[in-house]
Amino acid sequence: MTTETIFRNAKIVLENEVVHGSIVIKDGKIADISEGASTIGEDIDGDYILPGLIELHTDHLEQHYSPRPGVTWNLTAAIQAHDVQVAASGITTVFDCLRLGADEDGGFETGEMSAMSSAIAAAQSQGRLRAEHRIHLRCEVSAPNVLEHYEEFVDDSNVGLVSLMDHAPGQRQFQTMEQYTLYYKTKRGLTDEQFNAFVARRKMQSSKYSDKHRLFLANACHERSIAIASHDDATVDHVKESKNLGVSVAEFPTSLEAATASHNASMGVLMGAPNVVRGKSHSGNIAARDLAREKVLDILSSDYVPFSLIYAPFVLADEVEEISISNAVAMVSANPAKQVGLQDRGRLEKGLRADFSRVRREAGSIPVVKSVWREGQRIV
């Protein structure tokens, strides 16, 4: 039976403009968008209608699965708790990050992440989840066991994104030992002797494994048509390497130089929405707002705070003159969809999936997500 829902008196955020009018939903898809006043449909009192947000990089599930050091939670319960927060933030498609390759920073055991993926698939098939969940494999290429961990996912059709990371000292995110010392030695309480041995081991592993693991994983992704992300590129040479590997998403470039080169090479530059909200990076790297002003910021991810993905676009539109609300919303919807090949969502457009949220936001205030719809069904 055909079902139709109409919302009127809405500020409808399209990819390049905001129109005041009505949106018609029929059989899970957007049937029509029209400007102007109407007396037909539910009056939503001038609230925004935003496309369903698409989250490419979130570590938030880990916080529910392992809420304290040495403590793990029931897989399904953790996934459902994560899903509730994701959906209530207007996110209708989420790529859950699963870490592969122990980097001596809380890495998971062999089989642990594949069990998580299986639990996500089961929860999804049982109708437990509000958002659509896909898998983003975060691969620590300097880890000796990363390929062993990847082998567990070779038949997992839910994998849609793989990022290639190297967190060894002197690489990418940790170009200086000052940053690395703070992150590993100070926070972990290591002695000088322990820290020096740790650094030497990590440098050896990076030199021995990173290049060959990065190439193997990139080739494996191309064979399976899986999108590839670089991670923490810092130099033009890093960007050239990423481009040669077929990378489509440049996650968290650490310099304006690398971000600009990535953007110009048609790699979607991804930064954290918490970075936008806070006005700075938690690790001391470049601020996302600065990249937005230079027009080289393409995608935002909630990273570790799901709600930041709905909050940050409004902050950007308020604080950065060069960015409109349509530009900012595209960073959390149309742009990520494009970079990972999701052609059926990410925009409010006739014929696409009816993934959207109703958001109330007074000038300068924190937005309120009133309701969320996925494929024409209300999920929040």
pLDDT confidence of residue 178? 64
pLDDT surpasses 60 at 193:
yes
Give the pLDDT of residue 182. 61
Least confident range of 102-106, 135-139, 164-168: 102-106
Write out pLDDT tens, residues 229-259: 999 999 999 999 999 999 999 999 999 999 9
Residue ranges of the domains in the chain? 52-343
Q: Is 376 left (phi over 0), alpha (psi -120 to 50) or beta?
A: left
This prediction's pTM: 0.92
CATH class of 52-343: alpha beta
The SS3 call for residue 282 is: coil
Give the DSSP H or E segment for 2: none
Q: Please give the structure tokens belonging to residue 347.
A: 């925009």
The DSSP result for 160-224, as a single string, is EEEEEE--STTSTT--SHHHHIIIIIIHHT--HHHHHHHHHHHHHHHHHHHHHHHHHHHHHHHHH
User: pLDDT tens, 360-373?
Assistant: 999 889 999 999 99
H-helix or E-strand containing 290? helix 288-293
| Residues 51-94 pLDDT 10s | 999 999 999 999 999 998 888 999 999 999 999 999 999 999 99
Cα distances (Å, whole numbers) of residue 149 to 99, 107, 109, 159:
9, 11, 9, 14
**How confident is the model over 161-181, as a mean pLDDT?**
72
Query: What are the tokens at 328?
Result: 């900012």
Q: What is the reported pLDDT for 174? A: 58
* 271 pLDDT above the threshold of 60: yes
Across the chain, mean pLDDT equals 92
Give the residue-averaged pLDDT of 268-274.
97
